[in-house]
Structure 1
């Protein structure tokens, strides 16, 4: 049958072109105007043909899927929403309702499977949407929605959210879920924008999208707020965010209050909402200014809707009943029901409620045995039937957090719980099965559901205060506080308690800042902390501090007094940090002739190899290559910037200095052009290793012989020591072997490996350099690095040592330009000015590079989003 004029589709979908060139949809870097979207929708509508037919859509968060949805809404074709991803649930619905056209997702596109040119169904003129009730995905029981209901609910939502054309919503929920669908409907109604994505809120790319697209809102179910806590949402800078909406189940009142208060501080609103698919999406909302005061309430009816409370016989409570233009036509359980018109005018919600102060409604219980988890309505009777089909005698209870079931008999229920969670499409943690001798029952023989639910009740863990401050020595360490340190120092927002410093991309340049802050909160950090997950770094509240001996080995009163005196004067710092700080001071002082102590630059070369082994050799070959190239960039960029400036303002350097090539193409021997030899050689080594280690065979060799591999590299380079080969390094001779020695030292886990490294150092370092005391400095520095994990530092020098170590590279490249301005007045002043200038440059450059990395990450996220949505 052809579409009649009075069967025109839903107006917000049919009138997209009215908003002209306003941006409608953004997908990655691509922006689609309302005019362009109207053309896409029109073309799709024409592909459906003139006859009104039943269309089934595997609804995903893609442009093609959205186009099919809007085309059906605009042209009046009833649309059956299928779950995303296809599978058994989709096939059940297709088999039950036999749609005329099936739009399936394939590689980010929608492929139309046209089964017939004319419909075989009797389709009611008002029918627009067929949607599964929450949690009944795959069930033949569907909600029948009219086009007027969809339009009315979109209008009501737009009114109470005060939506405007300048708003942009990110699609945090799937289009197949009525809540996610309502976000699209209400925004397109007013000419606002949709940032189309399927990224999770735990993905840092999602937050880059929020910033780059100036997202003003996103939708959340209760589980989303747990994820927001995990990713450090409270610390995020999101200037465009105007509000967050919450629905899909009850959010704990304490969370409502917490996020509402956070929103008040940060300038955005929290809209707590209540709805059901049977009401097209929304029935009530809690005004944001009431969320802190009345966090238990669902609020007031949406515009155009009304509640009434109907007493329930036998219960001292009333059922919440809703009426409004967004109430469904009725249910469909078979194809013949598609011909039915309106069967109900008000919706019995099944929830028990009361009306409190200010006319706010509050849910106090459920009349039916349903719970809602992660936005999905779970039928507890169906849970019992599933378990019965598995041959188990069970009774199920639940809350908006878990399904708990008592199962008779002594059984191993782990696999059963996993299977049940998959069938219910809820997280595995939301299903708890308990083996019991017999099901708890009331006196009348019915299952005692409160007693069954009580099986899942555990004592609430003590909530540690969120008290980490970088300058508070008395603050107890918590996983959250350590997560914050990692997030701040590494500029990451996706830090989980299972992450480590290395897995998050930490390197030697950020290592100092993190280790110093960790020492301040933890008191002492274990050796190898950079590879330990955060949850292992933080001691249990009742555990003894590291090094505690217990009563039998505890020091006496005199010993405790000495320890207390020492702790007031000295603080332990990691040896590598102290060596970096001391070495850079000695290098600058020697170059300025304040005093002379040569060899510390070569100690830094060994330390560079040591840090390379700790930070650059984990993960897959691709991950490792990315991390190594990032480390090279963080050395090259600030170095080239300074040397380039020196090339422009002085006559002391050449173009090959700027590009760090003097060691290869510059004049032989030591000249003034060789001043940046350390940076040049280090960069050459790092680039060479990045290329070498990406070769599969080399990668396998490294993994098989992690200690022997760097020694082979050292042996090859030491051939120059015996004049077998010769390379044009400017006056410094070969240094790769020192880098490799540091690498081997880092992976020396056993005493005999450290002993072997000591022997190798004694055999090779003395005599390798023109000066004996230079050789001695290098030897002593290397042995300290090899054998001594921490060194005592006066507390007054703790911060200075950390600053000098963090900025050592920046001091090295800038001091050549700084000290000549002070040298004739005072060499001591020249040293101090050079160190200070390097620290300032470090602070400015790291911030600039951090901003650049965030921009690049945003671009990468945008490209990923395009690939996910439109590829």
Structure 2
């Protein structure tokens, strides 16, 4: 279409949409001062087509590169999807950040789209962006964890939400592999996350002058040894996360359990949830280790199972009925957990997270807000691992503690920055390795 320079792109798009019947995402306006012509005087349509396709081809390469970096060292092609590649929750968050930056916005269900098709969904950037609510919950949860550890405020609940998201993500991203008994694919993301945890354990072991064996074997949260001979209790989440994944793998290694879960995922999930809730109440009667009891697998397993069940609630009546039951359960747990401010805050936050996962799958935010939230969400695991390392070493030397306003503010800022920096460094390293691999495989 030929237009005068003062015609707005939106006006051109409206005419093109009316003339072709194509939706907006499939149309793009480009401007040129002149059109290249052949020797015969006719328009060179081949060069025009190459110009129009060049940005799309570049976008496809950018999407492929993003996936190759995320799934390194696996091979990735245009026909692959996030699910067929074996993506997990952390990769989902990290790729969401990268793809939002490249494509402008992500279509719903992008995890099942072939990468070649995904690259063609690029849209202009808007002032607002629709974000997967799980990403926002993850960012809010890790922010609560950092604030809770840096202050004396009774605001637990961030780690509990993260545990629930572990179960929800297992159902969302790994259910087909679990149903098929492909346990290796489920363990692969766990191994990658523990590889990042290993230097933290090594660092604490060097600082303590001994190998912290309970933490090496991921059982420090079970109270087998005294705190001086294990990692600080704040790392219980990593151990509980690993134990949860291993428990799921063990359960789905049993063919009969696999068949039942595949045929009746919600019913079987509710049955396991009832067992997990009973274990939370009954375990202290036969195995009581005091305060650290709240960090053990029996005490928090119900949260992961709850997250698993939430994914399979596929109708509004089921969601409403289940939410009512969970609301009652949270009230009971808040009272049973000591009936104090922190207990009520924790379980009301969990109930709020349940509500969001059930009834608000996506949340529209201003673009600037999304640009702040998505990096924190993508780096949530890194923030958890490193958010206390520098503050615990630096702030006492500066005589800054929780009794001074500057202390918590510095701890929160340094904690978030530490995790974000480690996340960025890891991305740079993996990107470099992926680039090196691609360059070595190119034909001479």
Q: Say yes or no: TM over 0.5.
A: yes
- Give the Å deviation of 1:707: 2.2
- Give the Å deviation of 1:619: 4.1
CA distance in 1, matches of 2:434, 2:325: 41
1:645 matched to 2:203: yes
| Partner SS state of residue 583, structure 1 | helix
- Give the Å deviation of 1:599: 0.8
**Which of residues 495, 501, 504 in structure 1 aligns to 2:82?**
501
> What does residue 112 of structure 1 align with?
none
> What does residue 115 of structure 2 align with?
534
> What does residue 723 of structure 1 align with?
282
- Give the Å deviation of 1:802: 2.1
1:660 matched to 2:218: yes
> What does residue 796 of structure 1 align with?
368
Q: Deviations over 1:186-237 (max 9, x none)?
A: xxxxxxxxxxxxxxxxxxxxxxxxxxxxxxxxxxxxxxxxxxxxxxxxxxxx
CA distance in 2, matches of 1:614, 1:812: 22
| Partner SS state of residue 191, structure 2 | helix
Conservation of the 8 A alpha-carbon contact between 1:599 and 1:774: yes
Q: Deviations over 1:331-376 (max 9, x none)?
A: xxxxxxxxxxxxxxxxxxxxxxxxxxxxxxxxxxxxxxxxxxxxxx
Conservation of the 8 A alpha-carbon contact between 1:583 and 1:600: yes
Q: Deviations over 1:108-156 (max 9, x none)?
A: xxxxxxxxxxxxxxxxxxxxxxxxxxxxxxxxxxxxxxxxxxxxxxxxx
1:675 matched to 2:234: yes
CA RMSD in angstroms, aligned pairs only: 3.8
- Give runs of aligned pairs for residues 454-469 of structure 1, distance below 5 A: 465-467=53-55
> What does residue 17 of structure 2 align with?
none
- Give the Å deviation of 1:721: 4.2
- Give the Å deviation of 1:680: 0.9
- Give the Å deviation of 1:779: 0.8
Conservation of the 8 A alpha-carbon contact between 1:647 and 1:658: no
- Give the Å deviation of 1:853: 10
CA distance in 2, matches of 1:836, 1:657: 25
Conservation of the 8 A alpha-carbon contact between 1:811 and 1:839: yes
> What does residue 307 of structure 2 align with?
742
CA distance in 2, matches of 1:655, 1:478: 47
Q: Deviations over 1:282-337 (max 9, x none)?
A: xxxxxxxxxxxxxxxxxxxxxxxxxxxxxxxxxxxxxxxxxxxxxxxxxxxxxxxx
CA distance in 2, matches of 1:752, 1:629: 35
| Partner SS state of residue 175, structure 2 | coil
| Partner SS state of residue 282, structure 2 | coil
Give the TM-score normalised by structure 2: 0.71
> What does residue 756 of structure 1 align with?
321
- Give the Å deviation of 1:829: 1.3
- Give the Å deviation of 1:462: 6.0
Cα distance 1:719–1:623, how it changes in 2: closer, same or farther (>3 A)? closer
| Partner SS state of residue 496, structure 1 | coil
- Give the Å deviation of 1:673: 4.2
Cα distance 1:853–1:534, how it changes in 2: closer, same or farther (>3 A)? closer
Cα distance 1:731–1:527, how it changes in 2: closer, same or farther (>3 A)? farther
Q: Which runs of 5+ in 1 are unaligned?
A: 1-458, 469-475, 547-563, 857-871
Conservation of the 8 A alpha-carbon contact between 1:592 and 1:831: yes
| Partner SS state of residue 83, structure 2 | coil
| Partner SS state of residue 165, structure 2 | helix
- Give runs of aligned pairs for residues 388-467 of structure 1, distance below 5 A: 465-467=53-55
- Give runs of aligned pairs for residues 466-865 of structure 1, distance below 5 A: 466-467=54-55, 481-491=62-72, 494-534=75-115, 537=118, 567-568=126-127, 570-593=128-151, 595-619=153-177, 624-650=182-208, 654-667=212-225, 673-723=232-282, 730-732=292-294, 734-769=299-334, 770=337, 771-820=343-392, 821-822=394-395, 824-825=399-400, 826=406, 827-845=408-426
Q: Deviations over 1:386-433 (max 9, x none)?
A: xxxxxxxxxxxxxxxxxxxxxxxxxxxxxxxxxxxxxxxxxxxxxxxx
Conservation of the 8 A alpha-carbon contact between 1:811 and 1:838: yes
CA distance in 2, matches of 1:718, 1:696: 25
| Partner SS state of residue 791, structure 1 | strand
> What does residue 18 of structure 2 align with?
none
Conservation of the 8 A alpha-carbon contact between 1:663 and 1:728: no
CA distance in 1, matches of 2:381, 2:147: 15
Q: Deviations over 1:679-728 (max 9, x none)?
A: 11111010111122122222212221122232222111111344377566
CA distance in 2, matches of 1:783, 1:477: 40
| Partner SS state of residue 723, structure 1 | helix
Q: Deviations over 1:448-476 (max 9, x none)?
A: xxxxxxxxxxx9x96652426xxxxxxx9
- Give the Å deviation of 1:511: 1.3
Structure of greater relative contact order (alpha carbons < 8 Å, 6+ residues apart): 2
Cα distance 1:498–1:707, how it changes in 2: closer, same or farther (>3 A)? farther
| Partner SS state of residue 182, structure 2 | helix
Q: Deviations over 1:506-551 (max 9, x none)?
A: 222221232233334444433332133335545689xxx89xxxxx
| Partner SS state of residue 571, structure 1 | strand
Residues 778-787 or 821-830, more deviating: 821-830
CA distance in 2, matches of 1:653, 1:537: 47
> What does residue 16 of structure 2 align with?
none
CA distance in 2, matches of 1:849, 1:481: 15
User: Computing the radius of gyration over CA atoms, which structure comes out larger, 1 or 2?
Assistant: 1
Give the TM-score normalised by structure 1: 0.38
CA distance in 1, matches of 2:138, 2:99: 19
Conservation of the 8 A alpha-carbon contact between 1:574 and 1:789: yes
| Partner SS state of residue 616, structure 1 | helix
Q: Which runs of 5+ in 2 are unaligned?
A: 1-45, 338-342, 401-405, 438-444
- Give the Å deviation of 1:602: 0.4
CA distance in 1, matches of 2:250, 2:435: 26
- Give the Å deviation of 1:667: 5.0
| Partner SS state of residue 364, structure 2 | strand
- Higher helix proportion, which one? 2
CA distance in 2, matches of 1:486, 1:466: 20
- Give the Å deviation of 1:496: 3.4
Cα distance 1:609–1:797, how it changes in 2: closer, same or farther (>3 A)? same
CA distance in 2, matches of 1:625, 1:528: 24
